[in-house]
Amino acid sequence: MLQFSAQQIALMIQGKVEGDALATVSQFGKIEEATAGQISFLANPKYEEFLYQTKASVIIVNESLVLKNNINATLIRVPDAYAAFATLLTKYQELKNQNLSGIQSPSYISSSAKLGENHFVGAFAHIGDQVQIGNNVKIYPGVVIGENVKIGNDVILNPGVIIYSDCVLGNNITIHAGAIIGSDGFGFAPTADGSYQKVPQLGNVIIEDHVEIGSNTTIDRATIGSTIIRKGVKLDNLIQVAHNVEIGENTVIAAQTGLSGSTKVGKGVMIGGQTGTAGHLSIADGVKVAGRSGITKTITKENSVITGYPATDHNTALRAQVQVKNLPNLEKRVKELEILVAQLSQKG
């Protein structure tokens, strides 16, 4: 178990210690539940009351925080407590992963595969022919890597990840348990007798640097060419990325979203959960898509906010929702006007 002092942690996250710099911690805890020997953080003012009740030994807080009462914990003040805590968690995980090395048994590694330095291969992993793997790669138990796959440096493949043949992964990538990279795209051609003929999927998947892919997410290989996940993309759990999709740099997509074939997503796009897209459309850079939206046509306006089904401008959709709520009253008023018009017609 790793143990650090408040001073050591402050150096990691470029913070300033307020209190006992020698206070040590070895675990993380939520501020409302933390105990002695744990470190926590306070970023949301809604949780400030717990700052004066918690038993945590060290707490990361914002520089701007003004204490209302005395506290027992050592504080580390930083410009952004949430970001600093995320940085600390990342460094802690990196240190833990450094302890993993070597090859567990049983596992299969092809004689033609090439592994870099400081690698870890867990039990029951399978590494196929002509695979190339860089340095500091961690392959957990049950991972399957098909032939001709190329993997860069500092990659983590969690248990049960499957990477089909010919796929290419860059550097600093994390893929979580059960994700599947490079399975066949959904390509079937209708025939005269009403059945469907499978269209061979001959392409691959390319994943650029600094990408994270959630558990049980599936990214299909291209029919021809490549399905591409650009630098810095973050994908949640349970996402379907179809064949020949391209996701732009630093885009984030929440769980249960489905991107149909040949969808092109721009840079810096944010897509809420349970969103779906029709195929062969584009989404402009910086677009924000509310959860459970259905995108049926290309979005050309950059940095726009869209929602609903079919997805449209967010403000327009909200106004439409208000009018939908008023429909019963409008119907009543129309009927009253119809009666009034009929009465006036009779008098006329």
Structure-block tokens of residue 149: 């796959």
- Which residues does 79 contact at the CB level (< 8 Å), separation at least 6? 62, 63
Instruction: Find the helix packing angle between 6-13 and 81-98, rounded to 10°.
Output: 110
Tell me the Cα Rg of the chain.
27
- Which residues does 3 contact at the CB level (< 8 Å), separation at least 6? 24, 25, 26
> 73 near 58, Cβ under 8 Å?
yes
Residue type, 13: I
Residue type, 301: K
Cβ atoms within 10 Å of 233's Cβ, excluding its own? 25
Burial class (CB in 10 A: 0-12, 13-18, 19+), 198: exposed
What 3-state class would DSSP assign to 237?
A: coil
Q: Are strands 226-229 and 188-190 parallel, antiparallel or unpaired?
A: unpaired
Residue type, 97: N
In the annotation, is 119 catalytic?
A: no
Residue whose structure tokens are 């949301």: 44
- Which residues does 77 contact at the CB level (< 8 Å), separation at least 6? 15, 16, 18, 61, 62, 63, 65
Cα–Cα dist 17/165, whole Å: 50
- Residue 19 sits at φ, ψ, to 5 deg, of 125, -150
- Residue 294 sits at φ, ψ, to 5 deg, of -120, 110
Give the end-to-end CA distance of the chain in Å, rounded to a whole number. 93
Cα–Cα dist 266/277, whole Å: 14
Cα–Cα dist 140/124, whole Å: 9
> Catalytic pick from 176, 243, 280, 314?
243
Residues that are catalytic: 243
